[in-house]
């Protein structure tokens, strides 16, 4: 895995994780040479992975809303990911932090088994 899960907590209303990115990740090798940053798609992937881990379902991202990237993430940076129930079925609000907000938005996830039917 290209990031390390250091800590994870779940309450009735929030899922929180602390992760760090691997400096040797291919994400950083190609994005951008000389000034590596973590692409937005990788950030969204971490959020989806975290939700899938606790739902015990094989989920895929079916939609995104109000996603804002506010700060660059450098290799090895310590991140906090916070996930909350969304207003609509299968949606979650999320926030990624690293010394302030990095990324926020709403992510919709669907079960891959439903997609096959």
CB atoms within 10 A of CB 9: 9
**Which pLDDT does position 117 carry in this prediction?**
46
**Which pLDDT does position 22 carry in this prediction?**
86
Is 31 one of the catalytic residues?
Answer: yes
The domains of the chain, with CATH numbers, are 3-116 (3.10.129.10)
18, 31, 53, 95: the active-site residue: 31
Do the bridges between strand 59-69 and strand 101-111 make them parallel or antiparallel, or are there none, so unpaired?
antiparallel
Q: How far is CA 47 from CA 21, 34, 35, 116, in A?
A: 13, 27, 24, 23
**Which pLDDT does position 112 carry in this prediction?**
76
Tens place of pLDDT per residue across the chain (117 aa): 789 999 999 998 899 999 999 888 888 887 787 889 999 999 999 999 999 988 878 889 999 999 999 999 999 999 999 999 998 889 999 999 998 999 999 999 998 776 554
Confidence (pTM): 0.89
């Amino acid at each position: 895995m290209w990031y390390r899960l250091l800590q994870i907590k779940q309450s009735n209303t929030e899922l929180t994780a602390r992760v760090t990115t691997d400096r040797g990740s291919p994400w950083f090798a190609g994005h951008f040479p000389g000034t590596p940053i973590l692409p937005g798609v990788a950030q969204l992937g971490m959020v989806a992975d975290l939700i899938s881990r606790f739902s015990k379902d094989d989920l895929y991202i079916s939609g995104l809303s109000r996603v804002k990237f506010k700060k660059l993430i450098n290799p090895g940076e310590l991140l906090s990911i916070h996930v909350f129930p969304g207003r609509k079925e299968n949606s979650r609000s999320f926030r990624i932090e690293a010394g302030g907000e990095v990324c926020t938005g709403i992510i919709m996830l669907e079960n891959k088994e439903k997609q096959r039917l």
